[in-house]
Amino acid sequence: MRILLLCSAFNGLSQRVWTELRRNGHHVVVQTADSDDAVRDAVARTRPELVLCPFLKERVPDDVWRQHPTVIIHPGPIGDRGPSSLDWAITDGVGEWGVTALSAIDEMDGGPVWGTRTFRVDTADPPRKSTLYGGAVTDAAASLAREVVEKASDPLFVPLPLADHSPGSVRGRARPLMTQADRAFSWDEPTAEILRRIRAADGFPGVRTTLAGLDVSVYDAHPDPYYGAAPRARPGEISLCQNGAVLVHTGDGALWIGHVRVRGAGNGTRVKLPASVALGARVAQLPRRHEPFPGRPGQSSWSGYREIGYDRVGPVGVVSFDFHNGAMSTAQCERLTAALRYAAGQDTEVLLVQGGGFFSNGIHLNTIEASSRPAPEAWRNINAIDDACAAVLDCTRQLVVAAISGNAGAGGVMLALGADLVLARESVVLNPHYKSMGLYGSEYWTYTLPRRVGAAVATRLTEQCLPVGPAEAVGIGLVDEVLPGTCTEFAAAALHRAVELACGSDRVRLLADKVRRREADERHRPLAAYRHHELAAMSLDIFENRNGFDELRHAFVTKRPSGQPTAVSRAHLLPTLVPA
């Protein structure tokens, strides 16, 4: 089937739908809704049998949906309408939510229903909006997209108008755009209420409040499980800093706020940043805790805000990390490298490296953009993430397993490729390229990527800048195995696979083969040579701006057009670049 995928941005959900529909043999063209004329031109070129809109904020032109079957995938249950569906769901503490496919008509989200999916939402520990969207919503939308395509192929199928559904099946209602007045809270309120409001706005737009005397938007909130061990303070007061986060006291406890955007400040601080970095001198004199690590003498067992952890499960050591939106700053990379080296020094048989909601998207563009000297900060960041990748590649006393439970891009993909066994959750999308950000790339990609997929495929992946789904990733050797399930189920399955590997009869042989391969590769070309080659190219991108890194980075973090060609603009050419 000829399908026009119409979206506001070629984001993770759109990429997931694109990869799955193409895997099923459909001819899929992506068009971003830049203007009505751009949409009309794409329709004229493609002559689609179906216009599918998995992530669309704009209204579809009337002449398009009247002449072509056009289906909107809306992140709400049957009857839900409006632009803030997930925001209201999390704020209201609903226990079940859904995704619905509707025909485009005059009324936004009011068309006949093609299908729906529902899923549970944790009310005790409410999800961040970005996590819910990238997890359950995306899984449901991808499944629903496949159903819509099947129904569009059936000439007898007719979508059911909302008025014809039984009252019990219509769970949602029309809700307006959620405003900052709707999101507002006081730090005197209970922790659970504040947590819901911040998480309902996580990713975008954040919640406006006051911290350290500044007008800010806050994101990335976590309850403090060890509140009794922290100094007491008044609601709204900050008492501690740890790993970039600040501890803010509430009416009945405290919350760690991981990220903050200072409002109305200069260009360098209007981007979302780690909270202690954004607040700067106003929290510089506060006590600072460092992430404790097991086995280090003299360190407190109190952990507070924790991005990195180490656990031992029998013969398997597990390094887990969860960085906000998958971005890894210089400091975060340094802490991760320390954790990996610590784990590699233990007497375990297998090292399991697993990320969180996002595995990793590489260097932290926001902290680079906000730096008074962006180029030197980018250079420090890329060297720090190289060190983390080297810690994986240098681990020859253990077999290393990478578990990719969430989407990964750029250097985050290459971090995983340094492992001996790469596992991916069946719903992830991988973007193993750098060119769309104007960078040559580092993280030893010129060693690890061709080693897995061959030189020709490595060139295609890094030049075309297209997403890769799990099935294709296994087919080309980018990953070794795909495992099903939710993030929690995947983590359990990955650990089980690591334990099997550690206890298997061929573990000694596999480890010996690994050591021999590394020694042979080192004799052919030292690992350091790959790094030097990559950094030589990156120095031109970072310090000379030869491919527009400055403009592309600024556009990315400020969500403004850069004037440079990007992966989204190239999405118009996807069918030409990669035949379906």
pLDDT single digits (tens) 198-253: 999 998 999 999 999 999 999 999 998 765 555 578 999 999 999 999 999 999 99
**Which of the pair, 90 or 568, is modelled with greater confidence?**
90
Compute the half-sphere exposure of residue 376: CA atoms within 13 Å on the CB side of its CA.
Answer: 3
Structure token digits, residue 479:
């990953």
Q: What is the mean pLDDT of residues 517-531?
A: 97
**What confidence score (pLDDT) does residue 233 get?**
85
pLDDT band at 291 (very low <50, low <70, confident <90, very high): low
Q: Residue ranges per domain, the chain? A: 2-160, 185-289, 308-547
CA nearest neighbour of 21 among 138, 120, 150: 150
Q: Which CATH class is domain 308-547?
A: alpha beta
* DSSP 8-class letter at 81: B
pLDDT score of 293 more than 60: no
Residue 328 binned pLDDT confidence (cut-offs 50, 70, 90): very high
- Tell me what the mean pLDDT of segment 301-325 comes to: 86
- Which tens digits make up the pLDDT trace of 439-453? 999 999 999 999 999
pTM: 0.92
- What is the band of 268 on the pLDDT scale with cuts at 50, 70, 90? very low
Percent of the chain with pLDDT over 90: 86
Asked if 319 and 498 touch (Cβ cutoff 8 Å), the reply is no
Report CA torsion sign: 167, 143, 404, 492.
positive
**What pLDDT sits at residue 337?**
98
- Per CATH, the number for 185-289 is 3.10.25.10
For residue 359, give every residue at least 6 positions away whose Cβ sits within 8 Å of its Cβ, in sequence order, or none. 326, 404, 405, 406, 407, 408, 412, 415, 416, 428
Domain at 2-160, CATH from 3.40.50.170, 3.10.310.40, 2.40.50.100, 3.40.50.970:
3.40.50.170
Q: What is the pLDDT of residue 575?
A: 37
**Is the pLDDT reported for residue 108 higher than 90?**
no
Residue 187 pLDDT greater than 70, yes or no: yes
Helix (H, G, I), strand (E, B) or coil at 237: coil
Question: What is the percent of the chain with per-residue pLDDT over 70, rounded to a whole number?
Answer: 92
pLDDT in tens, 50-77: 999 999 999 999 999 999 999 999 999 9
pLDDT for 168 equals 78
DSSP collapsed to 3 states, 155-208? CCCCCECHHHCCHHHCCCCECCCCCHHHHCCCCCCCHHHHHHHHHCCCCCCCEE
Burial 249-262 (b: 16+ CB within 10 A, else e): bbeebbbbbbbbbb
Name the band, by pLDDT with cuts 50, 70 and 90, for residue 567: very low
